[in-house]
Structure 1
């Protein structure tokens, strides 16, 4: 089992001070792949603006990429150190031999809404048969989520195959595709403005339909984890503390949000309430049961050839070290 941090030896008093104080002599830089800029990322914006990364001796380069299939490939190539863009893509890469692993995450909840064109005659999941469904690309998060919802509704493989998949990268592009009639339905990031658009209907309960779905956890290269366990630990601590701060300081967090999003106060509050209700994860855990569920979805969708043991795809040992130090968050 990959319990890298438990086996790491910190040599010297100075290194030990760095580990436990969260202060390093010179900032370490981490390149983090993220989805397109969305309210979900408020925790990262707070971590930057309120000094949570800096307090841990980190400089974090957040690279926003709309197509969720790209960051995993960039991480494999060494151009990113950590990605928070989609567990299905990471699991698929692991299945094909990539040395990657999930270590937890603060964005584990399923943050999609289900948008349909009002003229598409969609009242149930089963009505998706024969329709044009918007995804970022084959095997990306929207694709996996929509297939999982159809499976949960009891649709057969033949019924699921009887849809037309239309690639539109990014939540905003897919929502625009609904409004303009290019596609009939899609899943995309929650957006109160889209919900108010008369050209878009919102159906179903995506998070409630798939409660064990893990959306965008922290995924890393095994080599990066082995070589930089203290850096990863400080990154985890910064993100957990920033997320908890967001939970406890709504008004100040919304002030940070105003620097990134052109929404009115009511819309920002709607965003905040949505993400706080089960999407942001202040304890960062991903369970072996969730990893099993995600692999089974990939297997059913043809993205994996086999379901692997939990220790092959998940290692939360560093996360547990952090939680032992900062405590569990009750919410």
Structure 2
């Protein structure tokens, strides 16, 4: 081997080592996940606490978001890898109907589902029925995304038209809950188990989203398509860790420990509310999906509401355009070797 060939060989070896180091660093880098704060992140709390994510070779950093605008903008612009968010938010930003501008062009997709939304219309003690909201203010996250259209549909089903109530933009579910407790508005849409805490203080549950709307895809895991292509193995590992946590949560033998994890993970959570959360969020029929699949009929309901209420006006008809189950199928196909 002459001097030139040796130089090429050394350069190639150094390049290979550099690539290996870069790949290893990528694997060691934690997944950045942004969530709305609350008990509906229970599977994530458990996966971290019980080492289910670690068993899949990944670390996860969880960041709570103050509202959907902050979540979606920073997710789409690359600050976070995964957003646990409303399916409605995925559709809104994918269709250019988002409540805030992004630097990057949204190319996002849901990869797994969590639940049917756990949506409850909750009011101050003085308001006993939907009809009592006439002439009053109701709180929403953002006016054009999140669950604003769900709330509007529920109020219309209850006999009110938009001219008979006023929307107040109040931020994410934690902010809305706190504002409702202070009676800053008369009602808002809460996600379980926040309604349990409100009900203990004399507030009223006026309507249940799943009963009013039927199938509805609530929280999903969402990713940028290009990120998913480059990080497919990590995404599969995340799903597997999440699934292991669901299996653990649904085992009745783990109830006491599960409640302790929830109490530790949700700031201000009290024992009675944690007990109620267990009954609500782990209900065999209405709780977390036991497999984090996407409910196509539920996505179709999301599209129907956006087609009815969103601006600019669009007719959205193909649920499969907004989700990709290839990573979920890989994760659930067989146990990790």
Fold-level match, TM-score > 0.5? yes
What is the aligned partner in structure 2 of residue 315 from structure 1? 324
What is the aligned partner in structure 2 of residue 118 from structure 1? 125
Q: Gapped runs of 5+ residues in structure 2? A: 1-24, 97-104
For residues 173-220 of structure 1, give each alpha carbon's deviation from its aligned partner in whole angstroms, at most 9, with x where no partner exists. 32343343321111113333321113x222222332233121110111
Is 1:98 aligned with 2:106? Answer: yes
TM-score under structure 2 normalisation? 0.80
Is 1:184 aligned with 2:186? Answer: yes
What is the aligned partner in structure 2 of residue 194 from structure 1? 198
Q: Output the CA distance in 2 between the equivalents of 1:45 and 1:176.
A: 22
Q: Bigger CA drift: 56-65 or 310-319?
A: 310-319
**Number of residues of Structure 1 aligned to a counterpart in Structure 2:** 296
Is 1:148 aligned with 2:153? Answer: yes
What is the aligned partner in structure 1 of residue 304 from structure 2? 296
What is the aligned partner in structure 2 of residue 136 from structure 1? 141
Is 1:230 aligned with 2:233? Answer: yes
Computing the radius of gyration from Cα coordinates, the structure with the larger value is 2
Matched-pair contact (CA < 8 Å) for 2:116–2:298: no
Return structure 1 stretches of 4+ with deviation > 4 angstroms.
Answer: 151-155
SS of match in other structure, 2:117: coil
Q: Gapped runs of 5+ residues in structure 1? A: 1-23
Matched-pair contact (CA < 8 Å) for 1:134–1:166: yes
Matched-pair contact (CA < 8 Å) for 2:303–2:319: no
For residues 262-320 of structure 1, give each alpha carbon's deviation from its aligned partner in whole angstroms, at most 9, with x where no partner exists. 44433311111111122312211113322222111112121562315333211112212
Q: Output the CA distance in 2 between the equivalents of 1:167 and 1:104.
A: 28
Q: Quote the RMSD (CA, aligned, Å).
A: 2.4
- Aligned match for 2:222, one of 216, 219, 242: 219
Is 1:325 aligned with 2:320? Answer: no
SS of match in other structure, 2:61: strand
SS of match in other structure, 1:258: helix
Q: Output the CA distance in 2 between the equivalents of 1:62 and 1:103.
A: 18
Q: Output the CA distance in 1 between the equivalents of 2:51 and 2:126.
A: 48
Give, in angstroms, the shift of residue 152 of structure 1: 4.2
What is the aligned partner in structure 2 of residue 269 from structure 1? 275
Instruction: Note closer, same or farther for the CA distance 1:306–1:203 as it changes in structure 2 (3 Å cut).
Output: same
What is the aligned partner in structure 1 of residue 30 from structure 2? 29
Q: Bigger CA drift: 216-225 or 303-312?
A: 303-312
Give, in angstroms, the shift of residue 68 of structure 1: 1.8
Give, in angstroms, the shift of residue 170 of structure 1: 3.2
Q: Output the CA distance in 1 between the equivalents of 2:269 and 2:247.
A: 23
Instruction: Note closer, same or farther for the CA distance 1:308–1:228 as it changes in structure 2 (3 Å cut).
Output: farther
Matched-pair contact (CA < 8 Å) for 1:135–1:169: yes
TM-score under structure 1 normalisation? 0.81
What is the aligned partner in structure 1 of residue 62 from structure 2? 62
Matched-pair contact (CA < 8 Å) for 2:36–2:173: no
What is the aligned partner in structure 2 of residue 46 from structure 1? 46
SS of match in other structure, 1:204: strand
For residues 5-29 of structure 1, give each alpha carbon's deviation from its aligned partner in whole angstroms, at most 9, with x where no partner exists. xxxxxxxxxxxxxxxxxxx995342
For residues 71-111 of structure 1, give each alpha carbon's deviation from its aligned partner in whole angstroms, at most 9, with x where no partner exists. 12112101111101211111011112621111112x22222
Q: Output the CA distance in 1 between the equivalents of 2:95 and 2:317.
A: 8
What is the aligned partner in structure 2 of residue 282 from structure 1? 290
Matched-pair contact (CA < 8 Å) for 2:216–2:297: no
Q: Bigger CA drift: 270-279 or 257-266?
A: 257-266
- Aligned match for 2:175, one of 173, 191, 196: 173
Matched-pair contact (CA < 8 Å) for 1:103–1:315: yes
What is the aligned partner in structure 2 of residue 160 from structure 1? 162
Matched-pair contact (CA < 8 Å) for 1:84–1:218: yes
